[in-house]
Amino acid sequence: MNLPPPTVQWLDDSGTAFRAPGADASRPGVLDIIDQTRLPQSLHRLHLSDQKEIHAAISRLCVRGAPAIGCAAALGLAACAQRLTTTDQAEFRRQLEHTAAFLNSSRPTAVNLSWALQRCLNCLTADHVPALKQQLLDEALAILAEDISLCEAIGKHGLQLLQPGQGVLTHCNAGALATGGCGTALAPLYAAHQAGYRLKVFSNETRPLLQGSRLTAWELSRAGIEVTTICDSMAAQVMREGLVSLVLVGADRVAANGDTANKISTYQLAISANYHRIPFYVAMPYSTIDRSLHSGQEIPIEQRSPDEISHCQGAKVYNPAFDVTPYELISGYITERGICRKP
């Protein structure tokens, strides 16, 4: 199976790539990501070590998908820490916290971003700066390695929902390009493909930035999985025609009650699935659950630039990047620990 090259990794000055702890923080390194704004036309990588460049790369969706954003932010923080010249431990921590807060402001909805950055800050116990830099890099690479492993687990658990020849509908991109590993919502599809299933996947185009037609279609077709791109507005018709019997989507944040924020148009997809009595499952790691938020009404929704959808000068633009699907419309949640089905 031909998965895309690693979406996120650490690259040291010798050109050695790391996706698990083992890199030496005394060797200069960079956050190494695929620039997803240039897919599928070209496969281009960015090497980042400046906090403004990393913030811009996350904001511009060069790296996107909640798990990948978390991994990138953690490795980006480690790269920025390497460039801090102070030898005073207190000053190092102060500058590091300032950098983490700045990176955290790049995308407001994906909880993995703040979760990964806070985890990196919490790991620091050493009593001198070089050791702190090493701890930070080790923790960031541990986050990446764990994401790779949990993606495989999500795929294994989600496989039990699939059958050979089944039609599956997905939205946006929750595959290898959105994570450190093989994906969340696409992980069961990859597991099914390895098991010899021949699925028929329908990929919503996902306007306005076309993550479904640009990214999901690219990586699934590259892996040899049959994929058909449809406009977002065609999903209900595809369901009505009986072409799909399962909907799989990812998540950027899940509230304590199960309400789920995902790419805009997921909500109406869930409504259509519910009407046609088609199971609607959300695939995500446990780190996507934000227990501090009681319901989806408290999830911050990112507003994107009007330039993404504006074609008529003078017209007002409303461009939320995400919507919230109420837990009542969700059949269950596929996580690295198993499937949590509604009673």
Query: Which is nearest to 232 in space by CA: 268, 184, 281, 178?
Result: 268
Query: Which is nearest to 3 in space by CA: 43, 62, 56, 50?
Result: 43
| Residue in 12, 232, 252, 323 annotated catalytic | 252
Whether 13 is catalytic is: no
Q: How many CA atoms lie within 13 A of 141 on its CB side?
A: 23
CA 19 to chain centre: 16
Per-residue tokens: 97? 């916290």
Per-residue tokens: 68? 């990948």
CA–CA separation, 4 and 144 (whole Å): 16
CA dist list (Å): 110 to 1, 190, 241, 265: 29, 24, 34, 16
CA–CA separation, 326 and 259 (whole Å): 5
Q: How many CA atoms lie within 13 A of 126 on its CB side?
A: 19
Active site residues: 252
